[in-house]
C-alpha cells in the first residue's frame, strides 16, 4: 500500500511525501474471528514446538478495535496447541503454561496474582526475564478461558480523550510450551517455545488526545523495546 502525505516545507510550500507499506494480508471489517485467526495466528502455532518464540500483537489508535480483535485469538490458539500436544506430540511429554501481565506507567504487574508488582532483570546469558511472574500449568481450554477472563478483569482501564473506557496498559498473555529435563518430573521443566499475545495501549497522535497523563513518544518506544526484549523476535502484527 502506498500513502501520499501532504506536508509543508519551511517556506510553507507544499510537497508530497510517499510512504510504502507491505502486508501479508489485509482483512476488512466483515471478516469473522475464525478468518482473522486463520490468517494471523494459526500458521505460527506449530513453530513454537520447534524452540521458537512467536508473537502476535495489535497496534493502533484507541477505539480502533485492538482488544476486540485480540480477545478470541489466545483461546483459539490454546485449542490448537493442546490438540498438537495430545496427538502429534503425545509422546514428547510437553506441558502448557499460561502467564498474563501488564506494563502500566512503566511498571509491571501480574494480572493472575492480584496485580503483584514484578521486576525485570537480565540473567547471566543476557536474557531478559521477569522475576516473580506466576505461571499456571493447564491441560484444558476451560481453565485457560478462566485465567484469561481473570486477567482481563484485572487490567487497567481509564478514560482518554479518544475513548471513554480504554485499555491504558500494554497486556501480554503468554502460552509457553515446556518439557521436563530427561523426563525427570522433579526438576523444573525447560522452555521449548512460547506464543505471546500483546494488546498495546492506544497509539494516539497528538491531535486525537487531550490527556494530562499521556505518554511521550520516548516512553512508548521504551516500553516497546521492553516488550520485545522479553518475548522474542518472530512476530505477526495486526
- The helix (H) or strand (E) run that includes residue 154 is helix 141-154
67 annotated as ligand-binding = yes
The answer to whether 61 is a known ligand-binding residue is: yes
| Residue 106, annotated as binding a ligand | no
Judge residue 145's burial from the number of C-beta atoms within 10 Å of its C-beta, 0-12 exposed, 13-18 middle, 19 or more buried: middle
Handedness of CA 47, 33, 97, 155 (dihedral sign): positive
Q: Check whether 64 is labelled as a binding-site residue.
A: yes
Check whether 99 is labelled as a binding-site residue.
no
Grid coordinates given for 135? 505461571
Across the chain, the runs of DSSP E, i.e. the strands, are 2-8, 14-20, 53-58, 94-104, 107-110, 116-122, 128-131, 136-138, 157-158, 166-167, 170-179, 190-199, 234-237
The verdict on whether residue 60 carries a ligand-binding annotation is yes
Annotated binding site for ATP: 60-67
Annotated binding site: 60-67
Amino acid at each position: 500500500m502506498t500513502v501520499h502525505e501532504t506536508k509543508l516545507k519551511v517556506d510553507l510550500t507544499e510537497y508530497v511525501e510517499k510512504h510504502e507499506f507491505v502486508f501479508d494480508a489485509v482483512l476488512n471489517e466483515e471478516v469473522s474471528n475464525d478468518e482473522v485467526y486463520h490468517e494471523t495466528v494459526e500458521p505460527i502455532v506449530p513453530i513454537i514446538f520447534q524452540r521458537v518464540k512467536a508473537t502476535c500483537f495489535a497496534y493502533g489508535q484507541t477505539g480502533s478495535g485492538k482488544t476486540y480483535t485480540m480477545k478470541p485469538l489466545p483461546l483459539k490458539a490454546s485449542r490448537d496447541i493442546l490438540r498438537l500436544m495430545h496427538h502429534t506430540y503425545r509422546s514428547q511429554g510437553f506441558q502448557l503454561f499460561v502467564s498474563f501481565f501488564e506494563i502500566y506507567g512503566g511498571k509491571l504487574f501480574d494480572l493472575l496474582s492480584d496485580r503483584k508488582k514484578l521486576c525485570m532483570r537480565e540473567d547471566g546469558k543476557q536474557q531478559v526475564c521477569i522475576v516473580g511472574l506466576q505461571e499456571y500449568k493447564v491441560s484444558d481450554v476451560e481453565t485457560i478461558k478462566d485465567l484469561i477472563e481473570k486477567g482481563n478483569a484485572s487490567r487497567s482501564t481509564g478514560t482518554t480523550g479518544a475513548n471513554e473506557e480504554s485499555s491504558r496498559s500494554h497486556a501480554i498473555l503468554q502460552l509457553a510450551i515446556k518439557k521436563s529435563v530427561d523426563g525427570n518430573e522433579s526438576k523444573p521443566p525447560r522452555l521449548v517455545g512460547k506464543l505471546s499475545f500483546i494488546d498495546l495501549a492506544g497509539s494516539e497522535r497528538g491531535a486525537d488526545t487531550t490527556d494530562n497523563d499521556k505518554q511521550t513518544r520516548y516512553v512508548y518506544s521504551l516500553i516497546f523495546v521492553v516488550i520485545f526484549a522479553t518475548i522474542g523476535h518472530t512476530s505477526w502484527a495486526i
